[in-house]
Amino acid sequence: MINNSPIVNNSLLRFQANRIGGAMMRKIKISKAFTLLEPGPVVLVTTNNGKKNNIMTISWTMVTGFTPLFAMTTGPWNYSYAALKKSRECVIAVPTVDLIDRVVGIGTCSGASTDKFEKFKLTPVKGKQVRAPLIRECLANIECEVIDIVNKHNIIVLEGVAAYIDSTRNEKRTIHAVGDGTFIVDGRTLNRRQMMRSKLPDGV
């Protein structure tokens, strides 16, 4: 995705400018550097602990392989983590911009005391490979199995075992967290498939 991000315009301009190597650079606090590389899109991750379903909002995700492999950051501070670690499976559901308030709401309450499917009016759909449910209202869902947990860095490595997309959905724009409470919405799609053909796996 080509991200026409307003991060530079909105965030960096708050800091004093410095001329570095002939370029006008604006220094920011190193503690804010992560906002320059925030991944996306923001996803909802569902789990099942054997008794009930839960959902957590995750904004730190990445693709690590074409097979496909994914990684996300989470840990014991999230109620869903215990179920994820025990069951070794989950579903990554990809919400669109029309769901942003539900996405934020899910991420700011705990499944320990809240039925998030009921509270946020989302529909669990039985998957084919894992016990964790898909979310009907999301654009896409990926059933995943946990293949590694890197405890030192709170990284969960996942392998996708089944994937689904709702091609009939009108709204397809996903959201990307900056990390400061603001979000960026998908913009234009720029096609460079021919230029990148040698780098793309077969069938993509």
The pLDDT of residue 20: 58
* Contacts of range 34-38, beta carbons closer than 8 Å, 24 or more positions apart: 34/179, 35/7, 35/11, 35/178, 35/179, 35/180, 36/7, 38/176, 38/177, 38/178, 38/179
Task: Round the average pLDDT of the chain to a whole number and report it.
Answer: 87
Structure tokens at 3: 């991200």
Selected residue with higher pLDDT from 20 and 201: 201
pTM for the whole structure: 0.84
Strand partners, 133: none
Whole-number pLDDT of residue 27? 74
- What pLDDT was estimated at residue 105? 97
Answer yes or no: is pLDDT of 183 > 70: yes
DSSP assignment of 19-35 equals: EETTEEEE---GGGGGG
Matching residue, tokens 């030192």:
152
Pick the CATH number of 37-199 from 2.30.110.10, 3.20.20.70, 3.40.50.720, 1.10.10.60: 2.30.110.10
pLDDT bucket at 12, cuts 50 / 70 / 90: very low
Digit-coded pLDDT (tens) for 87-114: 999 999 999 999 999 999 999 999 999 9
pLDDT at 137 over 70: yes
pLDDT at 22: 60
Longest dimension (CA), the chain: 61
Res. 54: pLDDT tops 60: yes
CB atoms closer than 10 angstroms to residue 98: 14
18: which strand partners? 25
| Pairing state between β 61-65 and 53-58 | unpaired
| Separation between Cα atoms, residue 4 and residue 204, nearest integer Å | 24
Question: Per-domain residue ranges for the chain?
Answer: 37-199
State the Cα–Cα distance between residues 122 and 133, nearest whole angstrom. Answer: 11
Mean pLDDT score, 120-128? 96
